[in-house]
Structure 1
Amino acid sequence: SQIAWFSDQTGEYQLYAMPYDKPSEARKITSFTDGYPENLSWAPDSRSLYFTTEKRELWCANPETGTSRKVLQTPFSTIRNYDISPDGKWITYATQAENRISVVYLYSVDDNISYPVTSPWYDAQSGVFSEDGKYLFFTSARDFRANYSWVEWNATYNVSSYIFVLPLAKDTPDPTALKAVEYKPLEKVETPVAPATGHQGRKNDKAEPASEKQITVTVDLDGIVERASALPLEPGMYQLLAAVDGDLYFMTRREVKKISLSDLKESPVITGMPLAYAPKGKKMLLRDGDDLFIIGAPTWKKDKKVSLGDVRIFADYPAEWNQIFQETWRVYRDHFYLPTMHGRDWEGIREKYEALLPYVKHRHDLTYVIGEMISELNVGHCYVTSPSDTPAPERVKVGLLGARFSKDPSGAFRVIKVYEGENWDKSLRSPFHDGGVDISRGDYILAVDGVDCTPMKVIYEALVGKVDKTVALMVNSTPSGTGARTVYVKPIADESPLVYYEWVQENIRKVSQAGNGQIGYIHIPDMGIAGLDMFTKLFYTQLDKKALIIDDRMNGGGNVSPIILERLAREAYRMSMYRNGANLPVPNESHSGPKVCLIDKYSMSDGDLFPYGFRKMGLGKLIGTRTWGGIVGISGSKPYLDGQDVRTPFFTSYSTDGRWIIEGYGVDPDIEVDINPFEDYLGNDAQLNKAIEVLLEELKFYEPLPGTPPDRKM
């Protein structure tokens, strides 16, 4: 009968409540001066509300009295999910313990004490009470199965979870326990009982439904951790939804399923993503693709599609833009990694830029004002997005051939370069290297799909709209139609992967040749999946090299630098040998020779942290120019009213001796070498040449790992 919500109409987010049919009776309950309350939930009796904050707090509010109080504050991590017992006396939540393992707790409302109910040896999440208050369900990651790597002698763990059921009282039966089986004597025959007729049994017609009975939840804390049992489900990634009518509903791989507590049988319910639940979990708002449905027990059918076709939003743009501006200011105030805001007067900065709001006439104006405001903090990773609402025609794709051409006086196009690519990899497909394509450097293209090339300024005039379509090229070794042949090719949309691949391969060849085959080369384009994949591809295949050049230039950042540094830092602590075989270091995938790291002003974010770690771990010299200098990181965002967002720098790194590092300055090289753009264009990479020179000098003093010791007599 009541509605509760959060609103920032006072300038800070507050909790409000009102009878659903009496907007005039809306009441502000909280009086926060900062912060972002979220995860709002009614207690089962609808007399109180609970919510969490980013300060790791759980709050309780009373709409009737208009009061609120902080229930608890966890020491290490925010509360993502919680559930309230049917009698409102217990709250379950999960948070990290001191060992950084998440533990499920039961909080006693009466005693104001939290009790751990899962083991700190196993990560646990998602506590949900059963409808009758007798059980607590949670997930726990306990499926430890090593996945061995084919690339190196190593293993990883993608630990999957089980769903557990915990009887809260000692005398509550365990649903997973073996059931007793009754055997009847063979000679005894049961007499069938006639079905009841008339009004027999009417006394039960008005029996109070279990869901409406007064429930008292009994919790026996003694031995409660050991009382939990795993439900008979395969380990997986589960999200618990609700326990309703003797069934536990959960989600896995975008599919809602349930398991019956009576027979422990699993069954599918519906596909889609649940977004919201009605009280007691018997209805849910489900998203399936672009469609929304309201579905409910017991059928859970998608027969009530939510129509948004008639929804209209009337925007007061000045008010909306003011709210977005204030939201940005608050987000930075509450989430910026240092509450001192780099010593800036953040309130004064708001007033300075707030004065420009009356002159904002377009959303891009607002983005500019916000960008100027947050740039006052002098920190990297300050991003604000703006909607792409400028009308533009759909771009027509032009087919590319993975080659470069020059215009011959005859009018034909001469092939002056073909990018090599790796055609087994679709992302590196070079059209002229496809099977059956006979086109080489020096050949001439005379016509495209029968269209003469003579009047064309560039060959791409004939390739508009030809991406991934078969194209007929008239080709000859001379700029003449005599003896020409027809070759069929399939153009691509983007040549940049081919250009990058060839640049890396050319550097590998250049380094190998200049280093007499002793030096390997590895470029890491970023510190994400692409960069880790490239490192893996190039590192293990060059472990035979005596020295390595690790190229961190133009690294776009990410978060995998610790993984790469760990591999580069491995040291052999013993040797392995066997008869008729090669001697190997242990770890096998370790490189004991000298290394250097190339850096430049485009080595950014985690690409900054990588050379810092390279030096700190004593892996070798840094060569090039100072890095970008931005390591205060972001993760996630706060969405705006119009669907855009702002990214807040909220975490960073500092040294093990307690000093700030890198931000606003970067990482200096040990040997400074700048790039001459013209020489670089000609293929003369001064930084790479210096790396080769340094390693050749260091290899003069390099002592390789020993071979097999002299013969042994025992």
Structure 2
Amino acid sequence: MLRGIRFSRFLLCLAAAAGLASGAASAQTRLLPFPDVYKDKVVFTYAGDLWTAPSTGGAASRLTAHPGLEMFAKFSPDGKWIAFTGQYDGDEQVYVIPATGGVPKQLTFYPARGPFPPRWGYDNQVYGWTPDGKSVFFRSLRDGWDRPESRIYTVPVAGGPSEPLPMPISGGADLSPDGKKVVYTPFARDFRTWKRYQGGWAQDLWTFDLASHETKNITNTPRSERDPMWIGAKIYFDSDRTGTLNLFSYDPASGETRQLTQSAQWDVRWPSADQDGQIVYELNGELSVLDTRSGQSRHLSIEVPGDGLDTRPSQVSAAGQIESATLSPKGERALFVARGDVFNAPIEKGVTRNLTRSSGAHDKWARWSPDGRKVAFISDRTAEEEIYVIDALGKGKPEQLTSGGKAMRYDPEWSPDNQRLAFADKDGRLWVVAVADKKLTEVAREVRGEIRDYAWSPDGGHLAFSLSNPSTFRSLWIWSVADGKLRRITDEQFHASNPAWSPNGDYLYYLSARSYLPQFDTFDFNFAEDRNFGIYALALRKDVGHPFPPEEDTVALAEEEKEEKKKEGKKEDKKKEPAPVRIDFDGLASRVIRVPVPFDNYGALSAAPGRLIFVKRPPATFGEPPSKPMLQIFTFKDRKVATLTEGGNYDLSQDGSKVLVAQDGQYNLYDATPTGKDSKK
């Protein structure tokens, strides 16, 4: 696995698999989020710009054109203006524009927070107008100490300062037709992709009296209610209480709640209404309008004209979009995952091959088999993430090994005998699948997260990994292929993780937090712990000697030196198969040996013949830019630690000779030796 990685000489290119675009995008353009409706018109966002179209469908007309985003458009009560959130000067601010087109007018100027990752949404999100049409109300993050905490503000269209509504925190909101009450949800979680979420962030709807400050909870289900709309005497909203987001109505007078749409496959998203009782919403990327008086929805077939520049076939560089990289068994080539495809690239000479060419799927977590013949990877081409193998030269089609996946899957690891693949999933399970008969075995399950540190023994007969204990410390476990048994091999007293087998199968190295030397803080008289990890070894058999016996100066005899040189000069005619790894589990936890390196912040431990490779990370200091982690090598012969290079993400070839390191957007290859820094490629 890439622990913790663009070759500077590589440029990976691929053809964008897109259909030919005509002058119009298609008879039905999709991806039309954030719509609003006013009588016979709808407005929506497409490709970051605002467009309007008839509420019966038809050709759309562009309203804005700017490299930034324009979104969350809302018609004024008289339909003459449209308020929206725009990025004309880089951050998000509130603007208004004539509904027929014109020059946008900026209403807010307080600096927006961000930019944020998509899941946090946007600052200054417009939600609507006051009933008199004099002000726009929007959600602002200016008062929140944390990103999801926001508040509703109003800003006059004529110009002037923004004023907050009395609710201290608020997500989506709408005003009653008389402007005396607000329906809102305290949390803004609209851009989260969680499905059927039940927990502390599940959104409820409340009404708030602006005069008396009286509040009332009008929804109380385990799931989320969002996107409130107050039309006449009723409140309408989105809820996923049935499994997908659908529209519901609530009658404040009777307390009755009714479901209005029945979409079982697609979420009803971004609903918005006018006071005539129309609700426009996005469904499967297309727009529909619900007439609340009749209860009927109608689909809008909307065409957005364009030259199709973004959908025409083109060559795209994938070099700047690499998400993972791993080496071939001996480090002659590398696998890169970029833009959802797996590439087989040479280190110095040769061609780069796209092994998967799957424009409709996300292929990832590619890993070379130990014999170099196959590549394993994970793909969602069946709609769920499954394990596949393909010829390393791209010949033939991928073979699917698993089915029935229900969670994200991670990092397939080949057993050294090429017979099995171990992988983990987001549900905390660790699996092993046999390549020949596709038999799937659940090895273990983690109740406090995921299992991500599994490693095969040199003969492929055992799998080591860590699981958490009730104390939250982790212990090492070994699963054996022969008997299917799972055995814990370290106790609960100390945290242990990141197992790495010695190439000869005599030892299992791992990281353990055993140094507790807290630093005293003179500011608030508290303690902080740092650099508490050491590297340890378990002697797997009782007859295995100490890997670091006492050192003693000796006199080398001439004849012995000659014999040693003869042995070193001999080359094996053929590769030896690894001997079966035998483990004496009785008393194994007590056969622990500390590797003679100082305690520090270690991670990403690997073992190679005669040496250990690991990452040392600097301590985190608030208010200062972080220092770079260092890739280090400990050699058994001289028992010294050498720094190979900077970098915290690396992949070691399976023979332990080469290491691929991610460094400032580049991927560099080094010999995996203490002097390997001079071999950089």
User: Structure 1-normalised TM-score?
Assistant: 0.39
Larger helix percent = 1
Which structure has more relative contact order (CA 8 Å, sep 6+)? It is 2
More strand as a share of residues: 2
Larger Rg: 1
